[in-house]
């Protein structure tokens, strides 16, 4: 990182995983920076989601910043509260808490006079030379439109707004939605609720996984062996890196033998775990594995077979005061109703109004779909960079790894701006268009485009995630192709 360079100021949007990372690196480089956060704490999705059973599906030691290993994870798959505590502790350790402005939701961000000018909902105004948008992907909740929702007589909430004041033991609980969130909640509540109804619209492929607890002796050994701890970050399980690469290589080709292998493991999990043939068929997907985001669970099939659990596959007709009525006329009486219906993944920085050069708005640039060159930058929006932006490898491998590589890529631009080599950097329109043509063509061949409906698809049915291998992503992130960018003095 350059020293003795010109002064530049950076505004970071969001104090989740990527925003904290940005703050750490900017402070280490001695760069004037500030982080604006709409909530009252750091953590992003791990702050917002606190539902029972919340767990990350990336091995804990791989879900850490490369420079901040954590010997104290309690399980192979980290529980949500531990992840939140890790981010809070890391924020304090590196002094990032000093530069965060909490409860300051940015409502507008406009480029004029060679700088970005922001305004918050509270009326605060600020400006900077560079903006790093670290707003995340899954933070705008998706609330379904089901007739009669307002008439329900019990407690109801989206799973990202879990009401912990509502008792669950001995109650009749309904969970609508069966992605990873719904699966984790059912696994956590089976046996606690007097009745647990899981409303399934589409069966999921479920990959068996283990989640062993780490003993205190094991954790103490890691505290005393930094080299072993660093090795675990790279390879938390035997052949982890090779398995991640094999998994990502399979994703890019819906007809690959790798997808066949994934499907085989998931099918065996279903066949060997679910005894009732009628229930087994209800749980059997009819699309290719990984077309929807793969669900990892050590215990869902056991939970849904609990005597007090019920899988409901009939479509929902409406919600009534007493519960949920399905299209076969059955009323499923409930005391608590949780909507595990996910997020609007295409929102990113929206609804804040972002205006680039010459009045170009983000809504105009994204009129067809959210897009960014290499998932990081956009023509017409100079010195505006995104972490985990549109078309990045969300769900392919650890988001922390992705964000670190993306920030390394962005750092080339920060150094050029600091050195005075240029005052504006943005992708060229030609580079953006060529990238989109290549990306869309590749995306249609991925397993995400294999015919199912999922949050990976944009409004035109094109998979919106990174359509190439992890190897290509790592190669692209090593250094920007400067010929794809316009650098103005």
Q: Which tokens belong to 349?
A: 């920085």
pLDDT tens by residue, 277-309: 999 999 999 999 999 999 999 999 999 999 999
Any residues with CB less than 8 A from the CB of 438 and at least 6 apart, and which?
Answer: none
Count of CA atoms in the C-beta half-sphere (13 A) of 116: 28
For position 5, what pLDDT does the model report?
54
> What is the CB neighbour count within 10 angstroms for residue 451?
11
pLDDT for position 1: 37
> How many Å apart are CA 93 and CA 81, to the nearest integer?
18
For residue 220, the surrounding DSSP H or E stretch is: helix 216-223
R_g of the chain, CA atoms, integer Å: 23
Q: What pLDDT was estimated at residue 78?
A: 96
Label residues 342-375 b or e (16+ Cβ within 10 Å = b): bbebbbbbeebebbbeeebebeebbeeebbbbbb
Which two structure tokens, joined as six digits, stand for 256? 């690959």
Q: What is the pTM of this model?
A: 0.96
How far is 341 from 216, CA to CA, in rounded Å? 37
What domains sit in the chain, N to C, each tagged with a CATH number?
Answer: 9-140+344-488 (3.50.50.60), 141-205+276-290+292-342 (3.50.50.60)
Give the model's pLDDT for residue 453: 87
Q: What is the pLDDT of residue 42?
A: 98
How far from chain centre, in Å, is Cα 118? 25
- Residue the block writes with tokens 């604006």: 36
Distance, CA of 23 to CA of 36 (rounded, Å): 11
pLDDT below 50 — which residues of the chain?
1-4
Bond into 408 cis (ω within 30) = no
CA dihedral 357, 358, 362, 366 (to 10 degrees): -110
> Within a 13 Å sphere around the CA of 132, how many CA atoms are in the beta-carbon half?
31
3-state secondary structure of 216: helix
- Dihedral of CA atoms 264, 267, 268, 273 in degrees, nearest 10, equals 160
The C-alpha atoms of residue 51 and residue 47 are separated, in whole angstroms, by 11
Q: Sign of torsion, CA 481 483 485 489?
A: positive
CA–CA distance, 148 with 337 (Å, rounded to integer)? 13
């Amino acid at each position: 990182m350059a020293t003795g360079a010109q002064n530049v100021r950076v505004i970071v949007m969001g104090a989740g995983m990527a925003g904290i990372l940005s703050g750490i690196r900017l402070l280490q480089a001695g760069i004037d920076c500030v982080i604006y956060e709409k909530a009252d704490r750091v953590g992003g999705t791990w702050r917002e989601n606190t539902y029972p059973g919340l767990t990350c599906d990336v091995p804990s030691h791989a879900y850490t910043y490369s420079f901040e290993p954590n010997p104290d994870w309690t399980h192979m798959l980290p529980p949500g509260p531990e992840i939140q505590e890790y981010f809070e502790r890391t924020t304090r350790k590196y002094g990032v808490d000093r530069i965060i402005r909490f409860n300051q939701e940015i409502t507008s961000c406009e480029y004029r006079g060679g700088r970005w000018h922001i305004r918050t909902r509270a009326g605060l105004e600020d400006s900077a030379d560079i903006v790093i948008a670290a707003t995340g992907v899954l933070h705008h909740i998706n609330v379904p439109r089901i007739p009669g929702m307002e008439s329900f007589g019990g407690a109801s909430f989206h799973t990202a707004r879990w009401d912990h004041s509502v008792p669950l033991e001995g109650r009749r609980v309904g969970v609508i939605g069966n992605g990873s969130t719904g699966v984790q909640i059912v696994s956590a509540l089976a046996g606690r609720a007097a009745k647990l109804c899981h409303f399934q619209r589409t069966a999921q492929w479920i990959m068996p996984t283990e989640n062993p607890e780490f003993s205190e002796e094991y954790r103490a050994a890691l505290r005393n062996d930094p080299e072993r701890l660093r090795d675990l970050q790279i390879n938390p399980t035997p052949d982890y890196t090779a398995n991640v690469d094999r998994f990502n290589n399979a994703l890019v080709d819906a007809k690959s033998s790798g997808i066949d292998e994934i499907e085989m493991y998931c099918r065996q999990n279903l066949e060997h775990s679910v005894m009732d043939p009628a229930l087994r068929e209800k749980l059997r997907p009819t699309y290719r594995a990984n077309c929807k985001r793969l669900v990892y669970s050590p215990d869902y099939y056991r939970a849904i077979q609990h005597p007090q659990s019920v899988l409901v596959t009939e479509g929902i007709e409406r919600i009534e005061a007493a519960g949920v009525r399905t299209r076969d006329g059955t009323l499923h009486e409930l005391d608590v109703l949780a909507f595990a219906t996910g997020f609007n993944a295409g929102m990113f920085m929206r609804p804040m109004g972002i205006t680039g050069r010459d009045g170009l708005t983000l809504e105009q640039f994204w009129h067809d779909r959210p897009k960014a060159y290499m998932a990081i930058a956009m023509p017409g929006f100079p010195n505006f960079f995104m972490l985990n932006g549109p078309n990045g490898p969300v769900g392919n491998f650890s988001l922390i790894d992705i964000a670190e590589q993306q920030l390394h890529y962005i750092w080339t631009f920060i150094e050029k701006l600091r050195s005075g080599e240029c005052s504006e950097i943005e992708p060229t329109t030609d580079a953006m268009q060529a990238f989109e043509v290549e990306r869309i063509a590749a995306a249609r061949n991925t397993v995400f485009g294999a015919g199912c409906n999922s949050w990976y698809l944009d409004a035109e049915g094109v998979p919106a995630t990174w359509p190439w291998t992890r190897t290509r992503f790592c190669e692209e992130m090593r250094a920007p192709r400067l010929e794809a960018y316009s650098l103005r003095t």
